[in-house]
Amino acid sequence: MSTSAQKDEPCLAIVGRSIAGLTLARHLREGGYDSSILSFESEKCEPYDRPPLSKELFGNYFHPLAEEGYGSLEDIGARQIDETVTHIESITSTFTSAFTRTEAENSSLTTKIETSAYHSYTAEDAAYTSGILDASTRTNPRWRLTTAEGHTFEIHTLVLATGTRPHATIPGARVLYSASDAETLRSQIGKGSCVHIVGAGWIGMELASQCANVGAHVEVWEASPHILGRSFAGAVTDIWQPFLRKAGVKLHLATPYPGGLNCDVLVQATGASPTFPLPSHLGIRSARGAVAVDVWGRILADATPLTHSSPICQAIFPGLYAIGDCADTLLPTGTWNEGGHWMSALHGAARTATHLLGTESSLRFLEAPEIFSTQFGHEIGFVGTVEPHARIEREETEDSLILRWFTGHTLRGLLAVDAPRALARARKVLRSPLPNQEV
Ligand SMILES: Cc1cc2nc3c(=O)[nH]c(=O)nc-3n(C[C@H](O)[C@H](O)[C@H](O)COP(=O)(O)OP(=O)(O)OC[C@H]3O[C@@H](n4cnc5c(N)ncnc54)[C@H](O)[C@@H]3O)c2cc1C
């Protein structure tokens, strides 16, 4: 392993070796990229899939991604460095480019981002960094990263795939994020255990379902009046309540966890925050606290969406990308596609790979955000977005339930409970053309 940045040629580095990081590395190799890839990871085990941790907690919860067909780093030929990246800095401080902003705009932008390590581009030169992994780029170090062990590496293209960290603020509570969290929980929960879960979001609901299934006594506390409130703003509470009742799960809505209660296991499932080792002045953050990127995963220095009709440019940091849960995508329409879900991590990694390889034209669509879940004996999927004043239509049969969100006559989102065909149809309707298709 290198301890000196000077000894080695600059490399492409991917920080985080979960579904997003691994998928990117695999696509790059499949696309013909044959230079060094460094893969950094804090967790000292092979890459695995997180969704089974909460869906198969008491069964086969550990699914290595290699066995699921997502590639192994050995086959991909990436150099694995099992260290935590703690610091990232720009080596090159200036970039030449034709700015289209006015002087005033440029100066306020510079003040705002407190760095000159960005490049602004317009619709005309949107392809500037496309196919970035050409021979000249590979010899041009632009970023230096440092690990907790004190090793430094010079990097020409740096991709953050560092995901999220679960909120852990309740004293004595456990969380469920990693395989070792899952191992701990399953060793402590069984028939007759008293389990308290704080948070009625996706992971809280899946956990409640799993624990009830093995005969634990489960109670769930949720501070808001809603089940899955962050995703559906109250539209599904009446649908989920019977699921919980039938499973024998006691639910306390609009009730923050009071603390001081006796139980065998207390789990906090109140969400997760994006995590990435970027200095706070570098790039902008979305409302979720994620690093803002464009559809190709380029980290943005300002939040002006790039549209083909607009002369206003967008600023990026050349050779710096983020994919997966740590990133939110600013779309050309000016709206955000939030990360935080498995399918977004997969699709985002694929898009960034095409951009780095210069093969964007092989991708035609931007997939709509999608969530899947298995709980209380139901297969659940949601695709699209829930807009605040959307009209909701409900379609129910004996075996399935569908909710559709519309603005005007336009479908914006669809929730399918045991209705996979409706989900597949909505997936096609809700995707949108990628910017490269409009040029
Ligand atoms: C229990 C559970 C159940 C889930 N179920 C679903 C589901 O049903 N449907 C769904 O859509 N999504 C689900 N998700 C979310 C889904 O797993 C994530 O969207 C997906 O894993 C994101 O992948 P990622 O590669 O972006 O990040 P992550 O999987 O979070 O991986 C990030 C990796 O980066 C590493 N890392 C972080 N910082 C550093 C650093 N500084 N240096 C080195 N390494 C670092 C971490 O150790 C981690 O391995 C679930 C998540 C959990 C925890």
Question: Which residue's alpha carbon is nearest to atom 35 within ligand 1?
Answer: 16
**Nearest-atom index, ligand 1, CA of 343:** 11
Question: Which residue's alpha carbon is nearest to atom 42 within ligand 1?
Answer: 84
Q: What is the 41 CA–ligand 1 centroid distance (Å)?
A: 12
Q: What are the tokens at 28?
A: 């790059």
**Nearest-atom index, ligand 1, CA of 147:** 42
Residue 10 to residues 5, 37, 143, Cα–Cα distance (Å): 8, 10, 9
**Nearest-atom index, ligand 1, CA of 339:** 19
Q: What is the 42 CA–ligand 1 centroid distance (Å)?
A: 12
d(CA 114, CA 423): 44
Single-letter amino acid, residue 165: R
**Nearest-atom index, ligand 1, CA of 84:** 42
Q: What is the 347 CA–ligand 1 centroid distance (Å)?
A: 14
Residue partners of 42: CB distance under 8 A and separation at least 6: 82, 83, 84
Q: What is the 201 CA–ligand 1 centroid distance (Å)?
A: 16
- Domains of the chain, CATH where assigned: 11-164+274-365 (3.50.50.60), 168-270 (3.50.50.60), 377-433 (3.30.390.30)
Q: What are the tokens at 342?
A: 């498995």
Question: Which residue's alpha carbon is nearest to atom 53 within ligand 1?
Answer: 177
Whether the CB-CB separation of 380 and 372 falls below 8 Å is answered with: yes
Q: What is the 186 CA–ligand 1 centroid distance (Å)?
A: 20
Q: What is the 291 CA–ligand 1 centroid distance (Å)?
A: 15
Question: Which residue's alpha carbon is nearest to atom 8 within ligand 1?
Answer: 373
pLDDT value for 302: 64
**Nearest-atom index, ligand 1, CA of 326:** 26
d(CA 39, CA 79): 6
Q: Best substitution site from 17, 39, 50 to test ligand 1's pocket, by max atoms within 8 Å of Cβ?
A: 50
d(CA 277, CA 413): 33
Question: Which residue's alpha carbon is nearest to atom 5 within ligand 1?
Answer: 51
Q: What is the 67 CA–ligand 1 centroid distance (Å)?
A: 18
DSSP per-residue codes, 36-66: -EEEE-SS-S--B-SHHHHHSTTS----BTT
Q: What is the 294 CA–ligand 1 centroid distance (Å)?
A: 20
pTM score, whole prediction? 0.90
Q: What is the 43 CA–ligand 1 centroid distance (Å)?
A: 11
pLDDT value for 129: 52
Q: What is the 164 CA–ligand 1 centroid distance (Å)?
A: 6
pLDDT value for 53: 98
Q: What is the 105 CA–ligand 1 centroid distance (Å)?
A: 37
State whether residue 414 is helix, strand or coil.
Answer: strand
Question: Which residue's alpha carbon is nearest to atom 13 within ligand 1?
Answer: 51
Residue 45 to residues 19, 21, 356, Cα–Cα distance (Å): 14, 14, 28
pLDDT one digit per residue (tens) for the chain, 439 residues:
444 344 567 899 999 999 999 999 999 999 999 999 999 999 989 999 999 999 999 999 999 999 999 999 889 999 999 999 999 988 874 433 323 333 334 333 332 333 334 455 444 444 345 566 766 677 778 889 999 999 999 999 999 999 999 999 999 999 999 999 999 999 999 999 999 999 999 999 999 999 999 999 999 999 999 999 999 999 999 999 999 999 999 999 999 999 989 999 999 999 999 999 988 777 788 889 999 998 889 888 765 554 444 434 466 777 899 999 999 998 877 788 888 999 999 999 999 999 899 888 888 889 999 999 999 999 999 999 998 899 999 999 999 999 999 999 999 999 999 999 999 999 999 998 876 544 3
Within 6 A (CB) of ligand 1 lie 15-21, 40-43, 50-51, 53-54, 84-85, 161-164, 176-177, 203, 275, 277, 324-325, 340-343, 345, 371-373
Q: Based on C-alpha coordinates, what's the Rg of the chain?
A: 23
